[in-house]
A and B are shown apart, each in its own frame.
Chain A
Amino acid sequence: MTKQKNMSVLVYTESENGAFKKTALEVASYAKAVADQMGTTVTAVAVNANDVSELGQYGVNKVLKISDASLNNFNAKSYASAIAQAAKNEDAKVVIVSQSADSKYLAPILSVGLEAGYASNVVEAPSSTAPFTVKRTAFTNKAFNLTTIDTDVKIVGVSNNSFGLVETAGDAAAEDFSPSLPTSGVTVESVDKATDKVTIADAEIVVSAGRGLKGPENWGMVEELADVLGAATACSKPVSDLGWRPHSEHVGQTGKPVASNLYIAIGISGAIQHLAGINASKVKVVVNTDPEAPFFKAADYGVVGDAFEVVPQLIEKLKAFKAANA
């Protein structure tokens, strides 16, 4: 019998300071689901990760380990090239990436390099692998779009926090992989990143506040609530426009998208542009004095009340809950 090429599902598992991000484990879980549908295995590409054995628990059979100091700073062209070489090495027909800022950056470059159709913002495992059909969000979360990827090689960008983590018993075999890297015309000069805070992209819970808080001096309770919940903090557009909070916290259509498990909106009325950006969150809670605020129509749970009374009490209740469930 002639040896068949592997044709495994390839997944790019992102790491930061050597440790896999949660989205890496999620895309590995997704890749495993696709591989099961296609009767094949999962190969991961990891760049400068310390311990790759963790990936085995999420369905990865083999890890192509790239160790290269020149890749310490993310570079979309170099990373796309490395993943393309890995895909060719494995004869992969399906490549899975996350929708982190970095993966969204490299995916279109990879798509051209592999002549592979790319579907972004995918929220479910393929409904069929022939034709390869995926469900993705469109119209800024106001609709879904069922799309077929018609090329021989396919790239799927899995929305963060849409598929979840699926643990399995397994071991991932590590193999060193040394792709030849292109010269890139984009050089990182500096990175400005808060390392002690949960990012909006990675957060399972986001606590967001709006103009109802009356001024930047009142954000202490928002930060405390976020702290108790292990959440990221965010804000509405008027708040960032007024300079009460940094632009990086602005969530909504022109700001950052949010797809957390729980989104708590305090003193945010719920303008359509705001809701468009946060609609992908699974459970929404609103606290607002105005029962007519549009956010109540979009929320799952609501408290009609004064944030300055409700939030401190909620912090106390959550602390007690945490203590009782610790």
Chain B
Amino acid sequence: MKILVCISHVPDTTSKINFTDGDSKFDTTGVQYVINPNDEFGLTRAMWFKEKQGASVDVVNVGGAETEPTLRKALAIGADTAIRVNAEAKDGYQVAKEIANVVKEGSYDLVIAGRESIDYNGGMVPGMVAEMIEANFVTNCISLELDGTNAKATREIDGGKETVSTTLPLVIAGQKGLVEESDLRIPNMRGIMMARKKPLTVVEPTGATVETTTVKFEKPAPKGAVTLVAPDNLDELVSLLHNEAKVI
């Protein structure tokens, strides 16, 4: 079985979010990049399939050379090979189109991505890829079992969860639950050394166009200071929530 895990290269959660070029671009100054957390749960699940059920695991990213350390980290965690589509990621459609091409070229059986990236939060690439390659698709996936070409997946729904049966080829948009946080792997020295020798292939993009364009970023208006209410004066809190905030 051939698994492809989509790896988004995103700023660490604690990064300061600033913009440059007339607020049209994300300011990368001093920003630490990581594997998108939702993708890391998927990668770890893919490693489980590789070790327990036999599978090859490749990782893919659409981005410039600056994303390669993130792909190397995925290799250090245990992926076999990495593919970087050499194009600046501009919108969900363009990225999906490039990934769909990689999936077709590589005849992957299972594609695992995160439910969304924590930077652009588009939440659309996995579903678009599935539709483009005419594969089955399950989103918000919190559990995935494979038996031959049959799959059983659980997805989070509003107020609960739903279990579905489906078949390969399959695209999964995963999140925490696919594996738990405690299952995530920190690359060890051996993994890091091995990752240096693993193939990282750069492929040229198909030249997919975009469907949406970012015009500008804005930061939320600075928040006012907190209004403190004394613990023995909760009538005031109730009154503020009713009269000032108008939420009760």
Contact = CB atoms under 8 A, between A and B. Distances in A.
A141 B121 CA distance: 9
B207 to A, nearest CB: 16
A299 interface: yes
A146 B216 contact: yes
A108 B167 CA distance: 20
A118 B19 CA distance: 23
A117 B165 CA distance: 30
A314 B216 CA distance: 43
A321 B243 CA distance: 12
Contacts of B241: 262, 283, 285, 301
Contact of A108 (B120, B131, B213): B131
B131 A112 contact: yes
Contacts of A247: 142, 176-177
A273 B118 CA distance: 11
Interface in B1-46: 11, 13-14, 17, 19, 37-38
Question: Chain B at the A interface: mostly helix, strand, loop or mixed?
Answer: mixed
A109 B245 contact: no
Interface stretch (A25-33, A37-45, A183-191): A183-191
Contact of B131 (A109, A188, A199): A109
B165 A254 contact: no
A282 to B, nearest CB: 7
B139 interface: yes
B230 to A, nearest CB: 8
B140 A192 contact: no
Contacts of A148: 212-213, 215
Given A108-B126, A229-B248, A255-B176, 5 more contacts: A143-B219, A193-B160, A283-B241, A296-B226, A303-B228
Interface of B: 11, 13-14, 17, 19, 37-38, 91-93, 96, 118-128, 130-132, 136-140, 142, 152, 155-167, 175-177, 180-182, 210-220, 223-224, 226-231, 234-235, 237-238, 240-242, 245, 247-248
Interface of A: 74, 76-77, 100-102, 104-109, 111-113, 116-121, 133, 135, 137-151, 184-195, 197, 199-202, 204-205, 229, 241, 247-248, 250, 253-256, 261-262, 272-273, 276, 282-283, 285-286, 296-306, 309-310, 313-314, 317-318, 321, 325
19 contacts: A104-B123, A105-B139, A105-B155, A108-B131, A109-B130, A143-B220, A144-B220, A186-B137, A188-B162, A191-B162, A192-B162, A201-B159, A255-B176, A262-B248, A273-B13, A285-B241, A303-B230, A303-B237, A318-B248
